[in-house]
């Protein structure tokens, strides 16, 4: 089994929309600092994510741009 754990900061406020059935769909983007930098330059990787249901509602209510988050997947 493969597991991916990302820790970074939100690059923008999460966007939450609702499906026809009323389920929340949240979209977000995070910036993760690289552990090993090239030539001493700061570098980051950017990841887009989607969450559903109560997680989407939680993100919309409590998280804003710059908030540090940990994502398991």
Please tell me the distance from the alpha carbon of residue 40 to that of residue 26, in angstroms, as a whole number. Answer: 35
- Tens digits of residue pLDDT in 23-62: 999 999 999 998 776 676 778 899 999 999 999 999 999 9
Single out the residue of 23, 38, 26, 30 nearest to residue 4, CA to CA.
30
CA end-to-end distance (rounded Å), the chain: 11
User: Which pLDDT belongs to residue 50?
Assistant: 95
Q: How confident is the model at residue 65 (pLDDT cuts 50, 70, 90)?
A: very high
pTM: 0.82
Three-state DSSP state, 72: strand
User: Which pLDDT belongs to residue 39?
Assistant: 74
User: Which pLDDT belongs to residue 57?
Assistant: 93
Please tell me the distance from the alpha carbon of residue 65 to that of residue 69, in angstroms, as a whole number. Answer: 11
Please tell me the distance from the alpha carbon of residue 27 to that of residue 12, in angstroms, as a whole number. Answer: 10
């Amino acid at each position: 089994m493969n597991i991916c754990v990302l820790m970074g900061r939100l690059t923008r406020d999460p966007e939450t929309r609702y499906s026809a059935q009323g389920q929340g769909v949240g979209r977000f983007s995070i910036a993760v600092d690289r552990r090993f930098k090239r030539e001493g330059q700061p570098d980051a990787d950017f990841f887009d994510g989607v969450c559903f249901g109560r997680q989407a509602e939680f993100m919309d209510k409590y998280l804003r741009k710059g908030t540090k988050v940990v994502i398991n997947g």
